[in-house]
Homo-oligomer: A and B are copies of this chain.
């Protein structure tokens, strides 16, 4: 790879990406463009601009964008249509944000004539894979710089020395090492590393930043109603809202009731296991609600097919293949299934859990006429069941006869 001339850096404004910024300038002598996105991580973006300027970035090279609506509408919601969970439990909160960041990095690179992008993910994790697969899928000629895999700043001390040597301001609380590492966006907050590295030991309460302790949650349940159209949430308690507003509000409900905590050991794409604490307050509620509305609007053929391909879909997103033909093919299948997933779900929120307690829809496939224990006025002929069972049993009978014949019994 020839040396980059102009690099778009995914820049948070924090110490680590500021060091990267400076390192790119000094190591490659290249022009740096910063890109800072509001994905709902809950941090001010203004300081990032000031800091970038302080580090010598030209104003026209500073990109700061609020991507919350795009994030929820084009990434989170399509994923939730699939009820995607990785390894049975993880709602993919970090995974789903990476493709959008890469997409904007590439777009900004094209707009500014940059020949490279850079990110602050380490060489051990999944995020480097997600950033880079997305970048290459969108621009096969782009250079990707991953400083953590390249440089020799391999200890906290060296990083701080580099920062000091290059006049990078260091906040007081960044002098020591953080007791764990955090990633956050509108969908979730993840924490991992350091105090969390022994999976046998319960995570300390101070790790949880996004949800109140269920024990401190209100002592009485709260009910909410989420409206859906074609598989996407469109309202809360009857009030129509934008995608990001809905997720923001659900986060607030979840936070209050201690919903969405997960202590999890997962398999990284790069081959090792890691332990994380995830908080997905709004996401947990949304998943439960989406399943609730599908219960009455999807038939078994559609639902079972979705269930059977979901693990693969989730794995693709986890591994960073959002921009791949197979993810798009699966999305086509999933979206096709959601045409009638419209209606309302009533949920009960209480002490750490969100449970569906009612659901209704103009598109409902639930037929009280068929299922009733009462007289059904001919909707269903019970004698049909006899033939149904006989033909389903036929092959099993033939097997049993064969086995008897073969065993001579």
Q: Enumerate chain A interface residues (CB-CB to B < 8 A).
A: 83, 87-89, 122-124, 128-129, 132-133, 136-140, 146, 148-149, 154-155, 181, 193-194, 197-203, 214-215, 219-221, 261-268, 270-275, 291, 295-296, 298-312, 315, 320-321, 323-326, 328-330, 332-337, 340, 346, 348, 350-353, 355-360, 362-368, 370-373, 375, 380-406
List the B side residues contacting A399 at CB < 8 Å. Answer: 137, 299, 325, 365
Query: Which residue of A364, A375, A382, A403 has the most chain B CB atoms within 10 A of its CB atom?
Result: A382
**What's the nearest-Cβ distance from chain B to residue A137, in Å?**
4
Whether the pair B128, A389 counts as a contact (CB closer than 8 A) is yes
**What's the nearest-Cβ distance from chain B to residue A293, in Å?**
10
Q: How far is the CA of A181 from the CA of B371 in the complex (A)?
A: 13
**What's the nearest-Cβ distance from chain B to residue A85, in Å?**
9
Copies in the complex: 4
**What's the nearest-Cβ distance from chain B to residue A66, in Å?**
28
List the B side residues contacting A391 at CB < 8 Å. Answer: 270-271, 384-385, 388
List the B side residues contacting A270 at CB < 8 Å. Answer: 385, 388, 391, 394
Query: A400: which of B140, B265, B350, B360 is its contact (CB, 8 Å)?
Result: B140
Query: A88: which of B83, B220, B381 is its contact (CB, 8 Å)?
Result: B83
- Closest B-chain residue to A357, C-beta based? B202
Q: How far is the CA of A274 from the CA of B309 in the complex (A)?
A: 24
30 inter-chain pairs at a CB distance below 8 angstroms, sorted by A residue, are A87-B304, A123-B384, A124-B370, A129-B389, A155-B375, A197-B371, A200-B359, A214-B350, A214-B353, A215-B220, A263-B357, A266-B295, A267-B303, A267-B395, A272-B398, A273-B367, A301-B324, A301-B326, A304-B326, A307-B311, A323-B396, A325-B336, A332-B332, A332-B333, A332-B335, A340-B402, A367-B398, A370-B394, A370-B398, A384-B386
List the B side residues contacting A265 at CB < 8 Å. Answer: 295-296, 359, 366
List the B side residues contacting A346 at CB < 8 Å. Answer: 200, 202
Whether the pair A302, B329 counts as a contact (CB closer than 8 A) is yes
Q: How far is the CA of A325 from the CA of B399 in the complex (A)?
A: 9
**What's the nearest-Cβ distance from chain B to residue A247, in Å?**
21
List the B side residues contacting A220 at CB < 8 Å. Answer: 215
Query: A396: which of B136, B155, B305 is its contact (CB, 8 Å)?
Result: B136
Whether the pair A308, B301 counts as a contact (CB closer than 8 A) is no
List the B side residues contacting A360 at CB < 8 Å. Answer: 199-200
Whether the pair B371, A133 counts as a contact (CB closer than 8 A) is no
Query: A388: which of B148, B381, B392, B406 is its contact (CB, 8 Å)?
Result: B392
List the B side residues contacting A132 at CB < 8 Å. Answer: 389, 393
Whether the pair B386, A390 counts as a contact (CB closer than 8 A) is no
Q: How far is the CA of A84 from the CA of B346 in the complex (A)?
A: 26
Whether the pair A215, B385 counts as a contact (CB closer than 8 A) is no
Query: A385: which of B124, B325, B353, B381 is its contact (CB, 8 Å)?
Result: B124
**What's the nearest-Cβ distance from chain B to residue A25, in Å?**
22
